[in-house]
Each structure stands twice: as C-alpha cells, then as structure tokens.
Structure 1
Amino acid sequence: MTEPRIAFKAGRCFRREGTSFVDASPTKGAIILQNGEDGLLHFMWKNRQTNNVEEDLILFPSDAVFQKVEQSAWGRTYILKFASSNQRHFFWMQDADPSRDAEFVSNVNRLLDDPQTIPIWWAPGYNPGHDAQASTSSAPDAAPTAGSSQAASSQAHQPTAQELAQLQSIIASMSGGSGQQGIPEMSLVDILTPANLAPLFSEHPELVRALFPYLPPDLPTHPTEETLRQIVSSPQFRAAVRNFDQALRTGLLGGLVRGLGLPEEAGTSIEAFLRAIQEQARVADGDSEGDRMDTD
C-alpha cells in the first residue's frame, strides 16, 4: 500500500435488523483512502484502538458515492453506496469539530470519481457550508444516541463552531493563559512553506544534494537550489503536505515514521512528529560535536 490519500476520524454504524434505523458503534476508528499496489483505490476502515484494518473495500472509478444521511437528526451520519450493487456502509464523524466534514466528503467523492486526482484542501476558516454546520455539543468521539438517524431534530439553539471557539478562548484567558485550550493546533502546511524552506536551501547547500534522492527520478534538471524552490512552491507539493498533515492528525502513521528513523509515537500527532524531528536533530548535533572533540 502507498501512503494514505485521505484519512479522517470516523466510526461505523450498523443497520438494526428488520428496520431502517442505524445504530452508531462507539469504537474509535478512521476512514482511509489510498491507492493499493494493485493499482486500485482502497476504502478502508481502521480501528484506532487495535490499529487493525477491519474493512477494506476495493473501489472502481465512479462506482461509489459518499453521502450525508439527511434523515439523521444528529446530522453527521454518512453512507457509502455503490452503483453496481446494493451494498451500503454507514459511518459517523468522530472529530469533535464538524467544520471540516464537508471538506473530507468532497475529497472522498473526488477520489471515488477519479483515484488519481489530487485532494483539494480548503484554506483555514473557509467553509462554504458554514450556515449549515452541525452541532458540536457532543464530546470528542462520543457516539450519537442509538436510533437517532430517524429521530426528530431539536428546535433549541445549538452553538456554532465559531461560538465554541470564542468560548474556548475566554476560558483560556480566565485560566491565565497557562493552558493549551486557546492555542490553535499547528499545521505542517503553515510550517513547510516556500518562505520557510527557501532560506534553508541557501544557507545549507548540502540539503540540496541530500534531498534530491527523495524527489521524483524524472526531474529534467540537476540538483540545484532553484529546482527545489520550484518544487516546494508547486501545488503538488502543497497537496502532499496537506495529505501528510491530515494523516498525522489521525494518529495512524506509526509504522511509516519508523522508516524515517523516528520512534513510532512520532506518527501519532503533528506535535509528536515535530518533537521527534527536533530530538533527532539535537542528537545528531551532539554526535557531530562529539566527533569534533574526538579529533581535536
């Protein structure tokens, strides 16, 4: 299998026998889409508690669609259905923040239509469906009430994501700013920018030679600083960073980061990944200093 194209937190729902109701399973999971070695797109569901892939569906272009279940009063239940069969698979979003639900669904359907397409990630704060955001009153990973897919929706006011963010900021300020509640989660997209990377290529020419073995082999030029500048400024590089960023947020890259010489826990979050790289660099600098001291 290649690296995930899309990955996000989601649980499974199961149809209640003899009825049209579906009940949400509380098991923490993740939906992962990636291209397999067989050249086909795989839609997988991974148990985040056991780290096992419990469902692996092979999808052909334009044969499936991932849609919201409009009858769900809870509002965050989705169905994967096929044109070539009567298969139906139900899922529910497990991230406490619903603001990116539509973004994930849009990219899932883009890949279902064309497995070679590049996911399009929205700019921070952009959400064309903001007027219809679902309630965030549920706790993270909390399952909706069983049978809620056909329950009547409440008429009471539900807080929006913006209102909750404001409340979170107020709580953080009341605590003296010592907590992490009001601090936005860091993003690799905001870190691995052309503005941040370009100076590194100029100040450390050895990086140019070190990075080229990991770049596409069909590059038409020799290893140069300008070539790397063009690569990190390209939409393809930005898309790859966004995909990696999202995969890290799911905590499912423990096995992959071991190949980078990092501990498995570095694949459990963006912060853990950055801390592991920082520690790796610190150790490397210490070793280099030790070598210099030995030869003096």
Structure 2
Amino acid sequence: MSLAASEILLAFKAGRAFRREGTNIVEPNPAKGAIYLTNGDDGLLHFIWRNRTTGNIEEDLILFPFDASFVRVSQSPGRVYVLKFSSSNQRHFFWLQDASSARDAEFTENVNGLLQNPEFDVRWGVPISSTAPQASTSAAGSAQASTSTTSRQGAGSNFEATPEQLATLSQMLTSMSSQPQASSDVSLTDILTPTNLAPLFNHPELISTLFPHLPPDLPIPPSAEALERIIHSPQFRASVANFDQALRTGLLGGLVRTLGLPEEAGTGVGPFLRAIQEQADRERENTMDTD
C-alpha cells in the first residue's frame, strides 16, 4: 500500500527490534524507521513500518478494533515496545527513536486509542492516563508507540495546492507583524488564529477557492460568515494542533510534496512556513516578469 494513497492518522520515529532466537531477549535493530497508522484506501486501519533510509515499507499490518495493543516491554532496557494481538500469538517489537523520550507516553496513548477505535481523535498535550498497559517478556512470549503531522485532517489527501492558494497562504503569513523563525517555539496554533485569518475572508476570490476543501454541509453559496464559524470551532483548532504536532515528527515529506513543496518542508513547522513563503515569492516574481 502506498502512504500517499492513505490517510495518515499518526506517525512517529521508531525502529524494529527482534527476539534473540531461543531466548526472551529483545534486541533493537539500528535501522532508522517510522511507524504510521493510516486509514488505507481499502477502508481498513493499517499499522505500517517504513525504513527511513530506503523509504521502503517493510511491514504493513491490517488491524481490527480491540484486536491489538501497543505496550512497553518492561523487562527490556531502553524504549522497547511490542504490538501484540489477542487473536493470535503474533508479536512485533519496536524501539522508539525520537531524540527525546518526553512524548513516548503520548505516542503510546494515541496508538492504543486508534487500535481500539480507528475514529479516535489523536490528542496532544493532555494528561496521560495512569493505566497505560505494560508487558513482560515471559516464557509465554508476551511483550510489549502522532502526524502530522499527522494528523487526521488531510494528512493523506490528494489535494494539490495551486499557485494562487500558496500565494494566499503566504499573504496570511506575511500579514503577521514579523516573519516566523525556524525556532522550535513556532506553532501553527499561534499563527492560524481567528484574528489572523478573519481579514482574509474580505476577499471573495479566496472564499470560492477554499470552499471545495471545507465540510460538505456548509451553505451554498459560500460566505465569510460560514468560514468565520469554522475557524472559531473546536474542530478547526484541534485540526491545526494535530497538523502542528505531525510536522514536529519530521515525517511529512511525502504529504507536503502533494502541496507542491519540497520534502524538507515536512521536517518541521519552521521549514514548512519558510517553504510556503519561498514558493509564494517565486510565484510573485514570475507574475511580475509576465506583466
């Protein structure tokens, strides 16, 4: 299955680990990788492991609600987890490769939320339950990982931005008092606020461009009032927060290419904003050259 053809729900850096033959010892493999949970084009939930060096998908598991869990291997040193199934003795081991372990609990909570319910809303920055499952490497073999930026909203869509749409987004960014820096403190939730977005809806040509990508139950013809309601809604703020978090995983290179941006734009919030600005600057220069 192609990641580009699926809706990425969650993504984070993780390598694979393997049980040493004849023992309960689980050893991490040094290959750099990433775990993706996606809604596939077949309508099913997929648990994917992709090699970040080769770009190849080396594991693609179809999961059904409540059949699997993702839990830490408490007896194993390091950040080793296992994907285990209630319907079989399958065990797939992974080790988390994010530079910091600060978000491990969030990744695990979100993975298990999706494994129980594919419609689970991925959550960030909320208290983690104290009942997170643990696992052991007992003789019975039981053992025991957040997109994206990706985010549920649009992360696997086939949407392709036009130069006009990129220019519009650039106008939104440059309307701020200063240009965003590449600092890790930059957040889309601080940029895509109702206060910053509302002035853009004074342009009728922008409203008609955005409307095909908005929820289908909005009134027709589109109106600035309808868009105002959207940007003030909790769902919109949650979508922005999810996309911000997905960008921070650095795993959205494939997604941003569908927006006409270089793969580097998917490695963080700062690179994403800079790439949009540079693309819009080029479009403006081309327009001026043809005038």
TM range (shorter): 0.7 to 0.9
Q: Which residue of 2 aligns with 1:198?
A: 198
Question: 1:122 — aligned with what?
Answer: 125
Q: How far 1:208 moved relative to its partner? A: 1.4
Measure, in 2, the Cα distance between the counterparts of 1:73 and 1:252.
26
Asked if 1:55 corresponds to 2:54, the answer is: no
1:111 paired with 2:137, answer no
Where 1:13 maps in the other structure, the secondary structure is strand
What is the letter of the counterpart of residue 78 of structure 1? Y
CA displacement, residues 241-264 of structure 1 (integer Å, 9 cap, x when unaligned): 333333333333333322222223
- Looking at structure 2, the residues matched to 189 and 284 of structure 1 have their Cα atoms a distance apart, in angstroms, of 26
Indicate yes or no: 2:88 matched with 1:89.
no
1:213 correspondence with 2:212: yes
Bigger relative contact order (CA 8 A; separation at least 6): 2
The one-letter code of the counterpart of 1:118 is: D
Give the match for residue 237 of structure 2: 238
Aligned to 1:13: 17
In 2, the alpha carbon distance for the partners of 1:261 and 1:184 equals 24
Q: How far apart, CA to CA, are the structure 1 residues paired with 2:204 and 2:30?
A: 51
Amino acid at match of 2:246: A
Conservation of the 8 A alpha-carbon contact between 2:31 and 2:51:
yes
Distance (Å, rounded) in 1 between the aligned partners of 2:124 and 2:186: 16
Tell me the distance in 1 between the aligned counterparts of 2:20 and 2:46: 26
Pairwise CA distance, 1:187:
2.7
Letter in 1 for 2:75: Q
Query: In the superposition, relative to structure 1, how do residues 2 and 239 fare at CA in structure 2: closer, same or farther (>3 Å)?
Result: farther
1:3 correspondence with 2:7: yes
RMSD over aligned CA atoms reads 2.5
Letter in 2 for 1:260: L
Q: Is residue 280 of structure 1 aligned with residue 289 of structure 2?
A: no
Specify the SS of the correspondent of 2:124: coil
SS at match of 1:99: coil
Partner of 1:222, secondary structure, is coil
TM-superposed deviation, 1:221? 4.3
SS at match of 1:68: strand
Query: 2: CA distance between counterparts of 1:20 and 1:250?
Result: 31
Q: Contact 2:26/2:76 (CA < 8 Å) preserved in 1? A: no
Match of 2:41 in 1: 37
What is the CA distance between 1:35 and its match in structure 2? 0.3
Q: CA deviation at 1:84?
A: 0.4
CA distance in 1, matches of 2:83, 2:234: 29
Contact 2:7-2:40 within 8 A present in 1 as well: no
Give the CA deviation at 1:72.
2.7
2: distance between equivalents of 1:235 and 1:28?
A: 36
Question: Do residues 263 (structure 1) and 262 (structure 2) align?
Answer: yes
Q: Secondary structure at the match of 2:8?
A: coil
User: How high is the TM-score relative to the length of structure 2?
Assistant: 0.74
1:186 aligns with 2:186: yes
**Any gaps of 5 or more consecutive residues in structure 1?**
130-148, 151-179
Per the normalisation by structure 1, the TM-score is 0.73
1:185 CA drift (Å): 4.1
* SS of alignment partner, residue 98 of structure 1: coil
Determine the C-alpha separation between the residues in 2 that align with 1:100 and 1:26.
21
Give the aligned length. 239
Unaligned runs of 5+ in 2: 131-136, 139-180
Partner of 2:101: 98
The one-letter amino acid of 1:289's match is M
Secondary structure at the aligned position of 1:61 is classed as coil
- Structure number, greater radius of gyration: 1
